[in-house]
């Protein structure tokens, strides 16, 4: 008998209907922050990672398949059409 083990993906999906979304907008869409100003502050302070690396660019473009993390939660950008 062959057994396949997969790591469970606990990422929170953030569905977009466009080609990409900016990091700041993705945080607002996911209801992580109450405003763009607070998203900007959290990003510029280095509290957000994108695909495993600290990102301080609030205009960073995220495409379906990209992941960002904030306060221990991981979010996965998904295509709304899928």
What confidence score (pLDDT) does residue 19 get? 95
**pTM of the model as a whole:** 0.84
CA–CA distance, 59 with 23 (Å, rounded to integer): 6
24-56 per-position pLDDT tens digit: 999 999 999 999 999 999 999 999 999 999 999
The span from the CA of 23 to the CA of 29, in Å, is: 10
The percent helix, strand, coil of the chain (3-state, each to 5) is: 20, 30, 50
């Amino acid at each position: 008998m062959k057994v396949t083990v997969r790591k469970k993906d606990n990422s929170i999906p953030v569905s977009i209907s466009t080609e990409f979304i900016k990091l700041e907008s993705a945080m607002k869409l996911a209801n992580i922050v109450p405003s763009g100003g607070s998203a900007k502050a959290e990003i510029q302070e280095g509290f957000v990672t994108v695909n495993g690396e600290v990102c301080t660019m609030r205009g960073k473009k995220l495409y379906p398949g990209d992941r960002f993390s904030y306060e221990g939660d991981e979010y996965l950008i998904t295509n709304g059409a899928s």
